[in-house]
């Protein structure tokens, strides 16, 4: 096998595609590429899990331009090379976001500080929010015309709003934040409670913020084709411990592991992007609400979307909301509005 050409920031700006395959590689820019999540994510992307087994990719890996993370990133690139992934057609290793986002088709914004024990994700806003000002501007200036952005760095919804607010060329619908980890968590909790295989749980969607206020809408979920509330008749469990377990799962993982979720977060991002590339998929994504489900029109809120074309989607707006659902949505919306107010000075 011929080696993968790797591009360093100080050398060439363009990775070279060595393959003779006719399929054009998708350029995937990933920030925080030497971090925990990326250590799972990059290998999944390169193996074909995100874009499918026929789609070549070029990884454009971005870190902060300091010696330690850049050296660590060099090591990650060496390991990627050592995997001999047939779909990996090039790598860019850079501390310069202008190089890393150049011509990117997907921009995966993972790089940001994780929270520690006792913190809420919103406590990260002051430190992390500013990262997304510059990245939003650079992506708008140099990414591909069809660029899509997925934000993972916390607090993801509001960071996504900050990045999108900087863009003049790319429209707000190109910017999505990840609530798929919450959907996956909710699916697993419902399957455990009902004592069924995970695949029997469908249509469980996440509304609102990626925070404890999020609403995993059990009211519309199906288990084995039946309404979940007919299968799990313990409504108090659904309204209480279920919502709480899903909403606070991130903190539970930090308490158990001493570090925030990484492999499951990477897996959720694979799902997020994968399902946004496949028309017909219905899944939870945080998008600019435009007023759907009573959310403030300017906030990024989790809700069910249907992929309409690769990278494009429409909000599924038809789910009826009971009084309990409406009150949950109102409280997660309130938090999103408060976060937006707290970062007013960061919005473009
Ligand atoms: P980590 O500390 O292991 O890695 C973060 C990496 O980002 C570091 O290597 C750091 O150098 C890099 N970085 C920081 N600023 C950067 C910038 N401006 N450009 C490029 N790289 C930059 O953290 P992690 O565990 O990988 O988590 C990353 C983020 O994802 C955190 O904010 C975490 O809270 C969040 N997260 C979100 C979800 C979700 O469901 N939305 C799930 C898990 C974690
Ligand atoms: C998660 O949900 O696991 C992540 O957002 C990390 C965190 O801070 O909880």
Give the model confidence (pLDDT) of 284-341 as tens digits: 999 999 999 999 999 999 999 999 999 999 999 989 999 999 999 999 999 999 999 9
The pLDDT of residue 221 is 98
Find the mean pLDDT for residues 16-41: 82
Q: Mean pLDDT, to the nearest integer, of 15-33?
A: 73
Active site residue 210: yes
Give tens-digit pLDDT for 209-240: 999 999 999 999 999 999 999 999 999 999 99
Which residues of the chain are in CATH 3.90.110.10 domains?
A: 180-343
**Which residue's CA is minimally distant from atom 42 of ligand 1?**
265
- Could you tell me where the beta strands, DSSP code E, fall in 168-210? 175-177, 201-202, 206-207
What's the pLDDT at 330?
A: 98
Model confidence over 83-135: pLDDT tens digits? 999 999 999 999 999 999 999 999 999 999 998 888 888 889 988 999 999 99
- Report whether pLDDT(264) > 50: yes
Please give all residues whose beta carbon lies within 6 A of any atom in ligand 1, as ranges: 31-32, 34-37, 62-64, 69, 110-115, 131, 152-154, 156, 178, 181, 210, 260-262, 265
Res 6: pLDDT: 57
Q: Where in the chain is the domain with CATH 3.40.50.720?
A: 12-177
List the single range of 46-50, 142-146, 318-322 with lowest mean pLDDT: 318-322
Residue 19 has a pLDDT of 41
**Nearest-angstrom CA–CA distance, 175 and 149:** 5
Quickly state the pLDDT bin for 343 (edges 50, 70, 90): very high
Examine the pLDDT at 12 and tell me if it is beyond 50: no
The CA-atom distances, in angstroms, between 153 and each of 20, 95, 108, 298 are 36, 18, 9, 19
pTM of the full structure: 0.95
Q: Using the atom order of ligand 1, give the atom closest to the CA of residue 66.
A: 11
pLDDT of res. 118: 86
Q: Give me the long-range contacts of 195-204 (CB less than 8 A, separation at least 24).
A: 196/223, 196/224, 196/231, 200/224, 201/228, 203/282, 203/304, 204/228
Question: Which pLDDT belongs to residue 20?
Answer: 37
pLDDT 10s digits, 55-80: 999 999 999 999 999 999 999 999 99
Looking at 3.50.50.60, 3.40.50.720, 3.40.50.150, 3.30.350.10, the CATH number of the domain 12-177 comes to 3.40.50.720
pLDDT at 253 over 80: yes
Closest residue by Cα to atom 33, ligand 1, is 114
CATH number at 180-343: 3.90.110.10
Ligand 1 atom with the shortest distance to the CA of 180: 40
Q: Provide, rounded to the nearest whole percent, the portion of the chain with pLDDT above 70.
A: 94
Write the residue with the smallest CA distance to atom 25 of ligand 1. 36
Strand spans (E) along the chain: 6-8, 26-31, 57-62, 88-94, 106-109, 148-151, 175-177, 201-202, 206-207, 215-216, 222-223, 226-227, 282-288, 300-309, 312-315
pLDDT at 281 over 60: yes
């Amino acid at each position: 096998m011929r080696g993968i050409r790797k591009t360093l920031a100080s050398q060439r700006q363009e990775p070279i595609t060595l393959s003779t395959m006719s399929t054009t590689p998708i350029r995937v820019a990933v920030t925080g590429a030497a971090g925990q999540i990326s250590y799972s994510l990059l290998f999944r992307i390169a193996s074909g899990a995100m874009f499918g087994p026929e789609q070549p990719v070029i990884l454009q890996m971005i870190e902060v331009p300091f010696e330690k993370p850049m050296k660590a990133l060099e090591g990650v690139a060496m390991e990627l090379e050592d995997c001999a992934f047939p779909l990996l057609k090039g790598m860019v290793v850079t501390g310069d976001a202008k190089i890393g986002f150049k011509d990117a088709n997907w921009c995966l914004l993972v790089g940001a500080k994780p929270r520690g024990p006792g913190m809420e994700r919103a406590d990260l806003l002051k430190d992390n929010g500013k990262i997304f000002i510059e990245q939003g501007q650079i992506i708008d200036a140099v990414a591909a015309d069809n660029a899509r952005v997925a934000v993972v760095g916390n607090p993801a919804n509001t960071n996504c709003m900050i990045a999108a607010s900087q863009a003049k060329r790319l429209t707000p619908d190109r910017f999505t934040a990840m609530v798929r980890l919450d959907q996956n968590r909710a699916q697993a909790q419902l399957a455990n409670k009902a004592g069924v295989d995970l695949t029997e749980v469908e249509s469980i969607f996440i509304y609102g913020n990626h925070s404890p206020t999020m609403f995993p809408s059990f009211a519309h979920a199906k288990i084995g084709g039946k309404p979940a509330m007919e299968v799990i008749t313990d409504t108090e469990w659904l309204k209480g411990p279920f919502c709480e377990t899903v909403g606070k799962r991130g903190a539970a993982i930090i308490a158990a592991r001493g570090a925030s979720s990484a492999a499951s977060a990477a897996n959720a991002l694979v799902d997020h992007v994968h399902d946004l590339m496949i028309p017909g998929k219905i899944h939870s994504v945080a998008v600019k609400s435009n007023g759907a489900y009573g959310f403030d029109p300017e906030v990024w809120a989790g809700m069910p979307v249907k992929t309409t074309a690769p990278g494009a989607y429409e909000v599924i707006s038809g789910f009826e909301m009971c009084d309990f659902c409406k009150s949950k949505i109102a409280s997660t919306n309130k938090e999103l509005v408060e976060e937006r107010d707290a970062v007013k000075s960061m919005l473009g």
